[in-house]
């Protein structure tokens, strides 16, 4: 009963309930934590909340980010260069929580959890105010107690579905996911693209056949126009590289937060107006 109560109070779950009740789609914004430093990460997170971002996805910098394209690889390098550690990211989440209740997902690689110990990392993430984990290289059938620890902490395990995912595998992932299903709309790594994939309607319909969870569409969505179009098929849209690219260009400029948040505001408006 305690697990059910904690899970029902999860901010991701609650945000999607609010969006559905309002007949709206959500925007999930990704940034690399510690890029250019953790103070900027906190300031960007609070600004994103003010402009209407529904969920914040924080990439925990890692030395070998295999699922990421060049833009996010460079962000991870900048995060590592600024001295960002998993513990520092959790401290930053706790600082964000003192001023904001925006749902937060950590996007990370399993080595970072393994080094601290998965159960300890999950408990510390919960205590800091994290709502979900997207562990890129942890297959759902090799979790070794990960999902049980996540349930006990009230966190959502977020899983990925790709265009190449077989139907049986898609069904298994949908059964084990919580919060939302993250649909990778393109094969390959993260990165900006000139146009959307042309099979969003078919793929989201396939996923919906297996779950009532919200579907977030990501990978390659780079402009407000693309975000609006993707929102027609998903419950939320994930934009990462296009935001991270702007952070990389601006660096420690005093214009970093206002300029990046202005772009994110345009994304929010596009998704909500669709």
Round to whole Å and give the CA distance between 268 and 28. 9
Question: Which is nearest to 78 in space by CA: 242, 200, 249, 212?
Answer: 249
pLDDT tens-place values along the chain, 274 residues long: 444 444 448 999 999 999 999 999 999 999 999 999 999 999 999 999 999 999 999 999 999 887 788 898 999 999 999 999 999 999 999 999 999 999 999 999 999 999 999 999 999 999 999 999 999 999 888 777 899 999 999 999 999 999 999 999 999 999 999 999 999 986 444 544 556 767 898 999 999 999 999 999 998 899 999 999 999 999 999 999 999 999 999 999 999 999 999 999 999 999 998 6
The whole-angstrom distance between residue 161's C-alpha and the CA centroid of its chain comes to 14
100-117 burial string, b = 16+ CB within 10 Å, else e?
A: bebbbbbbbbbebbeebe
Tell me the residue range of the domain where 144 lies. 2-273
Question: Which is nearest to 28 in space by CA: 57, 48, 50?
Answer: 57
CATH of residue 171: 3.20.20.70
Tally of domains within the chain: 1
Asked whether 193 and 220 are in contact (CB, 8 A), the reply is: yes
Which residues have a catalytic role annotated?
57, 68
Round to whole Å and give the CA distance between 80 and 61. 6
């Amino acid at each position: 009963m305690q697990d059910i109560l904690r899970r029902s109070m999860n901010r991701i779950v609650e945000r999607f309930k609010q969006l559905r009740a309002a007949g709206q789609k959500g925007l999930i914004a990704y940034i690399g934590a510690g890029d250019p430093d953790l103070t900027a990460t906190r300031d960007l997170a609070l600004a994103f909340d003010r402009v209407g971002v529904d969920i914040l996805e924080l990439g925990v910098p890692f030395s070998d980010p295999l699922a990421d394209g060049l833009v996010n690889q460079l962000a991870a390098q900048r995060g590592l260069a600024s001295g960002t550690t998993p513990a520092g990211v959790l401290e930053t989440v706790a600082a964000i929580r003192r001023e904001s209740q925006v749902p937060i997902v950590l996007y990370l690689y399993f080595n970072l959890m393994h080094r601290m110990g998965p159960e300890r990392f999950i408990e510390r993430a919960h205590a800091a105010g994290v709502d979900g984990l997207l562990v890129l290289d942890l297959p759902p059938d090799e979790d070794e107690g990960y999902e049980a620890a996540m349930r006990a902490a009230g966190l959502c395990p977020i899983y990925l579905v790709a265009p190449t995912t077989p139907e049986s595998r898609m069904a298994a992932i949908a059964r084990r996911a919580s919060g939302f299903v993250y649909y990778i709309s393109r094969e390959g790594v993260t990165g900006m693209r000139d146009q959307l994939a042309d099979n969003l309607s078919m793929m989201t319909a396939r996923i919906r056949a297996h779950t009532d969870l919200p579907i977030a569409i990501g990978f390659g969505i780079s402009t407000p126009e693309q975000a609006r179009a993707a929102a027609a098929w998903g419950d939320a849209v994930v934009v990462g590289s296009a935001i991270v690219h702007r952070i990389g260009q601006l660096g420690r400029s005093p214009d970093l937060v206002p300029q990046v948040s202005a772009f994110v505001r345009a994304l929010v408006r596009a998704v909500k107006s669709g």
